[in-house]
Amino acid sequence: MKQWWRWMVLCIAILAVAGCGGTKSDAPQSATWKVGTNATFVPFEYTDESHQLNGFDIELFNAIAKKAGMKVEYKNISFDGLIPALGTKQIDAVISGMTITKARTEKVDFSFPYYQSGLGVLTKDGTAVEDLSELSGKKVAVQLGTTGAEKASEISNIELRSFDNNSEALLELTKGGVDAVIADLPVLQYYLTTKKDSVAKLSVIESKDPEYFGIAVKKGNKEVKDKINSALKELKKDGTLDALYQKYFNQDAPTMPEK
């Protein structure tokens, strides 16, 4: 009987120690930023052959987090779900080739711009498009919730096909399901050079009206925004941003308006 008690006490002691070990959760944990992106936007964000997130935005954000001493956990979600996810705090930031627009700045705050973009039209049959009204009567593919989709909706009498993912919109053009795609120029450019489509042609629209990509945070989240901005400044200073630009766009990082 005595033996039995001894074992009991020993077991309780072991459990207590193990239990103490288990309460380590109040020890400081390494802080992690949850970052939302829609990885269908080559070369900014995409999933590579080994199913890893990759691209200019991903490498840029990794560098930002490193400077800020943070870890990153990416969430690959639909583009039109990114801003709502910031609102519900599912994520702390968005990097997704997201244009700083007036409508969006009412809902979220943006970092300094880090990339200058603009819209373009890619036509399947090689027709040059000078004015968007020329797309009237045509089938046009766009990605849902993007500035390209917004532009397309202003054209009267087009057959608009909206896709959740940018890659699906481009695929529809390849398959001949639509006549044109309206999207960001660098993405269309990249598609054209890698697909080597001999007929498709890219036309620049809105060239006088540049779009700037920014990193979005929840409205009022000054802490994260400030950390991102100072990291961006440091990355510009120490040459990391130039190196990234060289890798993806064969040029140094241009000077961006700080707005």
Instruction: Pick the closer one to ligand ARG by CB: 192 or 230.
Output: 192
- Give the E-state strand segments of 60-169 in sequence order: 71-76, 93-94, 108-110, 115-117, 119-123, 139-143, 159-163
Long-range contacts of 80-85 (CB under 8 A, 24+ apart): 80/144, 80/145, 80/164, 81/36, 82/36, 82/37, 82/38, 82/216, 83/107, 83/108, 83/216, 85/36
- Does 54 bind ligand ARG (CB under 6 A)? Our answer is no
Q: Which stretch binds ligand ARG (CB under 6 A): 19-27, 33-41, 132-140, 217-225?
A: 33-41
Count of residues that interact with ligand ARG, criterion CB under 6 A: 15
* Measured CA distances, 16 to 3, 81, 254 (Å): 20, 45, 60
Enumerate residues 207-236 that contact ligand ARG by CB under 6 A: none
- Does 111 bind ligand ARG (CB under 6 A)? Our answer is no
Choice from 35, 38, 121, 245 touching ligand ARG (CB under 6 A) = 38
Q: Are the C-beta atoms of residues 147 and 211 closer than 8 Å to each other? A: yes
How far apart (Å, rounded) are the C-alpha atoms in residues 207 and 210? Answer: 6
Q: Which stretch binds ligand ARG (CB under 6 A): 13-21, 60-68, 141-149, 214-222?
A: 141-149
Instruction: Pick the closer one to ligand ARG by CB: 143 or 203.
Output: 143
Closest CA to 120 of 214, 206, 208: 206
Q: Are the C-beta atoms of residues 74 and 53 closer than 8 Å to each other? A: yes
Choice from 123, 143, 221, 240 touching ligand ARG (CB under 6 A) = 143
Give the pair of three-digit tokens for residue 217.
Answer: 């945070």
Choice from 59, 172, 179, 184 touching ligand ARG (CB under 6 A) = 184
- Does 179 bind ligand ARG (CB under 6 A)? Our answer is no
Measure the N-to-C terminal CA separation of the chain; round to a whole number of Å: 78
How many CB atoms are closer than 10 A to CB 206? 17
How many CB atoms are closer than 10 A to CB 212? 19
- Does 41 bind ligand ARG (CB under 6 A)? Our answer is yes
How far apart (Å, rounded) are the C-alpha atoms in residues 105 and 84? Answer: 13
How far apart (Å, rounded) are the C-alpha atoms in residues 50 and 59? Answer: 16
- Does 146 bind ligand ARG (CB under 6 A)? Our answer is yes
Instruction: Pick the closer one to ligand ARG by CB: 127 or 162.
Output: 162
- Does 45 bind ligand ARG (CB under 6 A)? Our answer is yes
Instruction: Pick the closer one to ligand ARG by CB: 146 or 203.
Output: 146
Write the binding mask 70 to 99 for ligand ARG: x where contact by CB under 6 A, - elsewhere: ---------x----------------xxxx
Smallest gap from residue 207 Cβ to ligand ARG (A): 15
Instruction: Pick the closer one to ligand ARG by CB: 40 or 240.
Output: 40
- Residues that bind ligand ARG in the complex, under the rule CB under 6 A: 38, 40-41, 45, 79, 96-99, 117, 143, 146-147, 166, 184
